[in-house]
Amino acid sequence: MHTAIQIKNLTFAYSGKQVLHDVTLDIPARQITAFIGPSGCGKSTLLRCFNRINDRIPGAHVTGGSIQVHDIDINRSDIDLQELRRRIGMVFQKYNPFPKSIYDNVAFSLRLAGPTKRAELDDTVENALRSAALWDEVKDRLQASAFGLSGGQQQRLCIARAIANQPEILLMDEPCAALDPLATLKIEELICELKKQYTIVIVTHNMAQATRCSDRTAFMYLGKLIEYGPTMQIFEDPKDPQTEAYVTGTFG
């Protein structure tokens, strides 16, 4: 199995307060890896290390260990952060389209990258919207505001926006937390479809979602990785009593 992200002995602190302790795991390429664990255990922090958007938080630092993405140490000082974040896209809990048209949301970063022919742009936008399972619902209203879409559609638009950058990895931090059950199912179907092309890491509080969607699951607690393995094993035959308590809902 090809490894997309290799995390070794990672420690991380906010203003001197250590919140990740000696985390080591390999995230396989073109699979879905879920991070689960109680609130505050460090799931989002760990996820945000992979494209270094924690760098934007004053006082936030990797204090030890390493992260390699396809064999490149991403914490090197000479890493091109814009390129890193293009390769490693991110989707957040609260869908956050730009106050622009549906078309312009998806075309945004392509335009930033430089002049592109209109026909080429049209193609990329269509392909990204198709990949995000949104094209059929929006093809007749591409120039309408993104804010006129339903929550689930806005989240799929955010996924299309990330896909338009041709990333290798997609990070999703509770992508369905703000959605109703039907919109959630639709995003889950989409995530399963996307793993054919992308490596996906998803944070979720929804145990059913982790079992439905992911190939591997990592259980974290108090900044430590407690257990990591195939999703079936984590849920049906956990080795650690804390994992067992969490997945069976008797934790705490």
Ligand X SMILES: Nc1ncnc2c1ncn2[C@@H]1O[C@H](COP(=O)(O)OP(=O)(O)OP(=O)(O)O)[C@@H](O)[C@H]1O
Binding residues for ligand X, per CB under 6 A? 14, 19, 37, 39-45, 57
Residue 212 binds which of ligand X, Mg ion, none (CB < 5-8 A, kind-dependent): none
State which residue, 236 or 240, has the beta carbon closest to ligand X: 240
192 three-class SS: helix
State which residue, 75 or 109, has the beta carbon closest to ligand X: 75
- Pick the piece of the chain touching Mg ion (CB under 5 A) from 36-44, 63-71, 137-145, 216-224: 36-44
Number of residues that bind Mg ion (CB under 5 A): 1
DSSP assignment of 138-169 equals: HTT-TTSBGGGS-HHHHHHHHHHHHHTT--SE
- Give how far Cα 103 sits from Cα of 125, 158, 161, 223, 234, Å: 7, 12, 10, 40, 41
Which token pair is 30? 């073109």
Residue nearest to Mg ion (CB): 44
- C-alpha span between 248 and 252 (Å, rounded): 11
Shortest Å, Cβ 173 to ligand X: 7
State which residue, 43 or 86, has the beta carbon closest to ligand X: 43
Q: 232 CB contacts (<8 Å, ≥6 apart)? A: 211
Of 44, 51, 155, 214, the residue at the interface with Mg ion (CB under 5 A) is 44
Residue 40 binds which of ligand X, Mg ion, none (CB < 5-8 A, kind-dependent): ligand X
Q: In a 10 Å sphere around its CB, with 0-12 CB exposed, 13-18 middle and 19+ buried, how is residue 92 labelled?
A: middle
Shortest Å, Cβ 205 to Mg ion: 9
Shortest Å, Cβ 34 to Mg ion: 13
Residues 176 and 183: beta-carbon distance below 8 Å: yes
Sign of CA dihedral 17, 171, 242, 1: negative
- C-alpha span between 214 and 115 (Å, rounded): 38
State which residue, 57 or 113, has the beta carbon closest to ligand X: 57
Strands of 72-73's sheet, edge to edge?
A: 17-28, 3-14, 60-69, 72-73
Residue 39 binds which of Mg ion, ligand X, none (CB < 5-8 A, kind-dependent): ligand X
Shortest Å, Cβ 222 to ligand X: 9
43 three-class SS: helix
Residue 14 binds which of Mg ion, ligand X, none (CB < 5-8 A, kind-dependent): ligand X
State which residue, 44 or 154, has the beta carbon closest to Mg ion: 44
Shortest Å, Cβ 224 to ligand X: 12
Decide if residue 204 touches Mg ion (CB under 5 A). Answer: no
Residues that bind Mg ion (CB under 5 A): 44
